[in-house]
Chains A and B, each alone.
Chain A
Amino acid sequence: MATIPVVQNKYEEWRLPSRGASGMISLIIGETALFSMFVLAYIFYIGKSVSGPQPAQVLDIPVFMTICLWSSSLTIWIAERAIEHNRMKQFTFFWGLTIVLGGIFLGGTALEWHRLIYHDGLTISTNLFGTTFYSLVGLHASHVVVGLIMLTAVFIFTLTGHVQQKHAYNIKTLALYWHFVDAVWVVVFTVVYILGR
């Protein structure tokens, strides 16, 4: 049996993808499929409403809140870098800024919906446009809400000093979700406010 080579040391460098990343990426793939159904429904029903109001009459392009959401991807990225290099103050600041930007986006959506409902009389049951619009944008907004709750929880624990450099990896996984939420908005924005108008 001495002829069997000892191969034990061959796998000292045994590296596998981390489970946090593979889990989060799987979740994102699943969520992408969920969103694509709503996006498909929206595209399919563009111009099929039998009664008003039509998108061109009531929708304004939400430039400001879109910029806020997209720049929050940048700030959370800076925060990720900061915690990797143990710059906790910078991390706290940019993490907080991300939450504020996300909050502004959510507020913008709330104002837009308020105007649509009370000023333009568009509800989810008004016509096909209302149904698809509120469900698609609402699905995205609900993901923003979930993201904000998780970001805020991290923020609170940062203020109490429980978040440290060793959590950088978990923070990055969470940030991946936030990047996904922002990326979905690229699609939703294009479909709803550019194609659909």
Chain B
Amino acid sequence: MADQTLPIGGALDITPQKATKQSFFEWLSEWFITVDHKKLGILYISYALVFMLVAGVEALMIRVQLAVPNNDFVSPQLYDRLFTMHGTTMVFLVGMPILFGFANYIVPLQIGARDMAYPRLNAFSFWLTAFGGLLLYYSFIGGFGLYGVGTAPDMGWFAYAPLTEKAFSPGHAPDYWAIALIISGWGTLGTAINIIATTISMRCKGMTLMRMPLFSWLMLVVSGLTLVTITPLTAAQIMLMIDRYLGGHFFDTQAGGSAVMWMHFFWIFGHPEVYVLVLPAFGIASEIIPVFSRKGIFGYAAMVAASVGIGFVSLGVWAHHMFTVGMSTPTTTFFVLSTMLVGIPTGIKIFNWLATIWGGKIVFATPMLFCLAFLFQFLIAGLTGIMLSAAPWDWQLHNSYFVVAHFHYVLVGAIVFNIFAAIYYWFPKATGKMLSETLGKWHFWLFLIGFHLTFDFMHIPGILGMPRHIYTYMPDRGWGIWNFIETIGAFVQAIAVLVFLYNVVISLMKGKEAGNDPWDAWTLEWATPSPPPAYNFATDPVVNSRRPLWDLKHPEDPDWKYE
């Protein structure tokens, strides 16, 4: 009788005959020419995971260099390249692609669509991002290698002027950085446009905006935010290239240009970028926590409002990265207050997640473990954020390891934890196989321990005065022991990631069959076979509430009676 109310149809489960006869080459070429949102999503995620390993190795090299005082494990020149490339890679080639990859895979399934709004643009955007990343890494071998280690960018991921001007950075280091990011920026812009058009125009019947799953909602907000943040970065990078190649004077202080202008332009992009990365993580948590608490999300409307609120407020806080450049008191006060304002919507979110868990029948599966750790760590990251938003505190700790610890708490403690949660949660949907729970728990606990060893202790040398980007330090500073603990933690995290990779490989080969709906969840993606067929839904689904699968599973007590 289910089809009488909600025709969520079934799907293909016979594999087309030709698939078995495909040669390896045909199979491979299909990945290059595909326009299917699911394949592109997988491409995005695998691409990002590869770069996550690369940037992770860079991070390990940085940690080894800093483990003991007066170390010279790498040369100073290579060290500069390592931290620049680590930051740039993690933000542009790991964070954004992996989150947009999840969006690509999940959003059309969640809103009951057959594909993204523009499938070809989707492919184009992915390949732009991919080639941009490859061009960036070509800098290690391309160019004429100033110090025998290529001309990889070495000016920090924020590329402050005037260091990037022709006079101070000869060679091609800033050029590789700017051009590679302009190219991948176009790709990001295309994906953002695509996600907006998809969520606005492709929702299935009955899915009003206020019934859209929170992950899709968050991706809509993120894409809107991306539109107005990635283009300013592109603009600033075009200006930088005009300065470097056409003799312009945007950031040339001798000709009246302003280096502070670059800081403003970069952080107008750079701060909302943090929210571009963290909001999808919020979306992931908002999907996983209700399912594993066996309760509906608490305060859906407040969650949506808080997300949109964070999106808007985040556009007006950028200069809190610049308290030490000497802004006027009213400006400083404005940015202190606007930064503290972010605490309100994020506080609402944390409250709602806790209220969702409260009284629920919690299932401690691996995705839920990662999300619980996220809640705790994000709270701490938020608290150090409030500390740093107070200008006098920031004057003391600006660009110290305290700041590095703070933003890694957000980027790793919140975002990476939720990315792992999302992989454990949606891997069965994408592959039809469960990831091993035993290995998953090993992965979780090792990563948790490693994370806290590294980043909890990183706050201390920061307060003791250790600046970021520092190559090495004297033994008498009292930083040595903390840095040594951090390095141990970094290697524990690396082992955890290896466990995770082993888990992925072994589960792909002989994992447990997942079935359509292994987690007993409530959103539309679980109404398709695992993996879903090319067209997702054989008949267009119709939904009547925020939890369409709940309505089907509990026909005697459906959700739509209460909305």
Contacts and interface: CB of A to CB of B under 8 A. Distances in A.
B238 interface: yes
Contacts of A29: 224, 227-228
B314 to A, nearest CB: 14
B468 interface: no
A41 B232 contact: no
Nearest to B204: A14
From A7, A36, A37, name the one whose CB has the most chain B CB atoms within 10 angstroms.
A37
B231 A19 contact: no
A125 B205 CA distance: 57
Main secondary structure of the interface of B (DSSP, over half): helix
Contacts of B81: none
Contacts of B239: 37-38, 41, 135
B234 A127 contact: no
Interface stretch (A44-52, A55-63, A95-103, A147-155): A44-52
A107 B535 CA distance: 49
Contacts of A127: 249, 255-256
A19 B227 contact: no
B200 A30 contact: no
- In the complex, which range does the number of interface residues on chain A fall in? 35 or more
Interface stretch (B190-198, B300-308, B401-409): B190-198
Interface in A10-30: 10-11, 14, 16-19, 22-23, 26-27, 29-30
Nearest to A135: B242
A38 B250 CA distance: 10
A186 interface: no
Interface in A96-137: 124-125, 127-128, 131-132, 135
Contact of A131 (B117, B197, B248): B248
Given A4-B5, A44-B261, A19 B250 contact: no
B29 interface: no
B420 interface: no
A125 B249 contact: yes
Contacts of A16: 200-203
Contact of A26 (B193, B205, B246, B544): B193
Contact of B227 (A7, A26, A44, A124): A26
Nearest to B190: A27
Interface in B220-241: 223-224, 227-232, 234-236, 238-239
Contacts of B197: 19, 22-23, 26
A30 B5 contact: no
Nearest to B4: A6
A33 interface: yes
Contact of B231 (A4, A31, A49, A128): A31
Contacts of B205: 11, 14
B196 A48 contact: no
B265 interface: yes
A8 interface: yes
B76 interface: no
Contacts of B246: 124-125
Interface in B132-179: none
B206 interface: yes
Closest 10 CB pairs of A and B: A125-B247, A37-B235, A131-B248, A19-B201, A11-B205, A34-B231, A30-B227, A19-B117, A23-B197, A33-B231
Given A18-B201, A19-B117, A125-B249, 17 more contacts: A4-B1, A11-B542, A22-B197, A26-B192, A26-B197, A29-B227, A30-B193, A33-B235, A36-B232, A37-B235, A41-B239, A45-B250, A49-B255, A125-B247, A127-B255, A131-B250, A139-B238
Interface of A: 1, 4-8, 10-11, 14, 16-19, 22-23, 26-27, 29-34, 36-38, 41, 44-45, 48-51, 124-125, 127-128, 131-132, 135, 139
6 contacts: A4-B558, A8-B7, A14-B206, A33-B231, A37-B268, A124-B248
